[in-house]
Structure 1
Amino acid sequence: MSDTNINSTESPSNATNGTCGKVSVSVNIPIIFMTIGILSNSVALVILVKAYKRFRQKWRACFLLFASGLVFTDCLGHLINGAITIGVYAQEKDWKIIDPSGYLCPFLGTCMVFFGLSALFLGSVMAIERCLGITQPFLHATKMTNRCAKFILGSTWLFALCIALLPNLYFGEYTIQCTQTWCFIKTQNVTFGRESGILLLFSSLGLTALGISLLCNTLSAVALVRARVKNKPHRKGKSHHVEMLVQLMTIMCVSCICWGPFLVTVATIGSLIAGPKAINSLLLGVRMAAWNQILDPWVYILLRKAVLKKICKIIQLCMGKQDIQLHRWDCSSLQRTIKTAAMENSLTASKKQPQISRRTESQ
């Protein structure tokens, strides 16, 4: 979502009838937002790529791959949606000049739905991956390979693209919204059927992704707290788990705050129970959802291991503790887990090999 600067002045009656007043906003505003978004996501992407090259363990690489995919998606969304938005403002929102063929509006609507759903889906995929890695380390070590992670990442993008293409296949419709600054699924004068169905599908998928993230992150946090309380030996050295969980919890909170109002408003419009102020609420939701792509990369820039250690040290200093010995941020226990799982696989394979050879000789 890229229209972070809509400043609607229409009245509720005009919004209900699908007409809005002129919006006078400088083109410098979308340029500033697009620049900040691209720079933030680029910095976060560089950090994640370096970390991906440094940590080659499967449990670490999968999370970094999903996180890199999320940041790359946000960066590309800022670039494409922001460039179109700047063009709209530069031409004073005259779509006849901007889009004489009529293809730009469906393209912009498709991009907004695709990049929005991709960010929500990837957030839930990362939460599932971490929940599996914390609660089922053996299963995660054997099944969650780098190849599997790449397949999941590609499938997530493909699924989001299929949903975004539905209005172009006459399951709904992409229309210019009343402020004349962006395109989205038809939200004015919605009728029961395909028009309301695509709105409900979009909102339900987004809310489901947020719900999955909330559930999985909660389970992961409970597992880490229980391991800390019981002080299990095989649960020590989980600092990387804590780091990634802090990042996921922050991303989940940002997504809920930024996307929640917009998804709820879309669901209300799709349910045909929207009041006269629904369009105004939708515009406010668009502005809030746009901040999600700007705030996501700062989670990986600020909530890194080195930064968290410094914050912890500062807090302890403020509490009057002078002799501070922070625990080492290592992954020795997880390495042992991966090695144990690999040894079990090799033993299983060695046991199966004589059986296969005997069957071959008998045949």
Structure 2
Amino acid sequence: MSSGTRCRGGHNGSEPGAMRPRANATGRAAEGCGAVSVAFPLTMMIAGIVGNALAMLLVSRSYRAKESRRKRSFLLCIGSLALTDLLGQLLTSPIVVSVYLSDRAWDAVDPSGRLCAFFGFSMTVFGLCPLFIASAMAVERTLAIRAPHWYASHMKTRVTKAVLLAIWLAVAAFALLPVAGLGQYALQWPGTWCFISTGDSLAFASAFAVLGLLSLVLTVACNLATIKALVSRCRTKATAPRSSKQWGRIATETLIQLLGIMCVLSACWSPLLITMLKMIFSHTSFEHCKGFSGETQSSELHKECNFFLTAVRLASLNQILDPWVYLLLRKILLQKFCQAASAVSKCSNNECKERSITLSEEIRRTAA
């Protein structure tokens, strides 16, 4: 999903924007471009594959542990998110690397244009699926903490599996709409990736951006509700039995993971989704980037094209950062959250330290 170069000059018409892959202007980047090395997408691909594979391994071990019975639905969501990101890396990154190795000439890799449609389909599926899965995770944690009795009675792992399957199928059906003539996937500037055309398929592009933003809003709202519930619980006196305390530790750990993934999703996807909506409402597209040359470009055009490319690169980082949030930031975020919760809710420092130490021991036992 990594894309492109940062072009500063080139021949007129050699920079394809939202254009059909079989057009006369090919996907070759301008001769005067300051090219990004093939090492950039290759490094991103390796980091994404390694991170998601490790996350899936850790989730698998945690899922089989007896102590994780109460959060198996959440672990299923985490594992599904890692699997989705891994598939996205495996299906899109090799194409980008091949285009780079072909001197960023898309037509040399995809003379028929079918690979462009597949790439755009993959970008859509593996863009919306992580957003929807993150929303499902946030809803699951909200129900687990705010309605524990209902959750214990109704939220079984088979329900979680059905929801995840429904998300994948629904997103795949949505991404196939261009096959039915509702929307179009097109080669995007600077000719190293394909995505939804904002010039010819406003309804389809609008639906993608709106669905993505709605999922982000739902994720944020559910996490805020969960935080409020946890802070309220922390303010009560520690009179609950040990099992309830253990459930509180599990809930706090998963909330920290949710917050990390939520921040990554928002930071990575918000710029691209908002930019797409801005283009749609202003009835513009980035097709004008195909004429991006050193002699004719304006300062505003230069900024718009580069910002769009930066937004795409940020979105591509989502598949890489998600698993590392789960792998590396669990313990660190938990400690920081305990400190903040202690200051806000006047919890005792000893209680927070005890929770952190107990969780660290549980993590070491799970990883053993």
State TM-score, norm by structure 2. 0.78
Q: Provide the rounded CA distance (Å) in 2 between the counterparts of 1:164 and 1:271.
A: 22
TM superposition shift of 1:71: 0.8
Cα 1:54–1:306 change in 2 (3 A) is: farther
Moved more, 266-275 or 161-170: 266-275
Cα 1:178–1:306 change in 2 (3 A) is: closer
Mark the runs of 5 or more structure 2 residues left unpaired by the alignment.
Answer: 19-24, 286-300, 343-348, 360-368
Cα 1:272–1:306 change in 2 (3 A) is: closer
CA contact (8 A) 1:176 1:184 kept: yes
Mark the runs of 5 or more structure 1 residues left unpaired by the alignment.
Answer: 331-363
Please list, as runs of the form range in 1=range in 2, the aligned pairs for 1:1-363 lying within 5 A after superposition.
2-3=1-2, 6-9=5-8, 21-22=30-31, 23=33, 24-55=35-66, 58-187=69-198, 190-191=199-200, 195-231=201-237, 233-234=239-240, 236-237=245-246, 238-274=248-284, 276=301, 278-305=304-331, 308=334, 326-327=354-355, 329=358
Q: Aligned letter for 1:281?
A: F
Q: Provide the rounded CA distance (Å) in 1 between the counterparts of 2:220 and 2:171.
A: 20
Moved more, 222-231 or 211-220: 222-231
TM superposition shift of 1:261: 0.5
Q: Provide the rounded CA distance (Å) in 1 between the counterparts of 2:230 and 2:352.
A: 23
Deviations 1:306-343 (A, max 9, x none): 98469979xx9xxxx9999624748xxxxxxxxxxxxx
- In the other structure, the counterpart of 1:344 is none
- 3-state SS of 2:195 partner: strand
CA RMSD across the alignment: 3.0
Q: Provide the rounded CA distance (Å) in 1 between the counterparts of 2:304 and 2:336.
A: 45
Q: Provide the rounded CA distance (Å) in 2 between the counterparts of 1:185 and 1:255.
A: 20
Q: Provide the rounded CA distance (Å) in 1 between the counterparts of 2:170 and 2:54.
A: 27
- 3-state SS of 2:354 partner: coil
Deviations 1:260-294 (A, max 9, x none): 10000011122234485544332111011111111
Cα 1:50–1:198 change in 2 (3 A) is: same
CA contact (8 A) 2:142 2:223 kept: yes
Deviations 1:108-130 (A, max 9, x none): 00001100101101110000000
Q: Provide the rounded CA distance (Å) in 2 between the counterparts of 1:219 and 1:58.
A: 23
- 3-state SS of 2:202 partner: helix
Deviations 1:94-140 (A, max 9, x none): 23321122210000000011001011011100000000000001111
Q: Provide the rounded CA distance (Å) in 1 between the counterparts of 2:117 and 2:17.
A: 22
- 3-state SS of 1:175 partner: strand
Aligned residue pair count: 317
Q: Aligned letter for 2:6?
A: N
TM superposition shift of 1:17: 7.7
Cα 1:325–1:264 change in 2 (3 A) is: closer
- In the other structure, the counterpart of 1:346 is none
TM superposition shift of 1:6: 3.6
CA contact (8 A) 1:58 1:146 kept: no
State TM-score, norm by structure 1. 0.79
TM superposition shift of 1:231: 2.8
Q: Aligned letter for 1:225?
A: V
Q: Aligned letter for 2:103?
A: E
Cα 1:311–1:217 change in 2 (3 A) is: closer
Q: Provide the rounded CA distance (Å) in 2 between the counterparts of 1:323 and 1:165.
A: 52
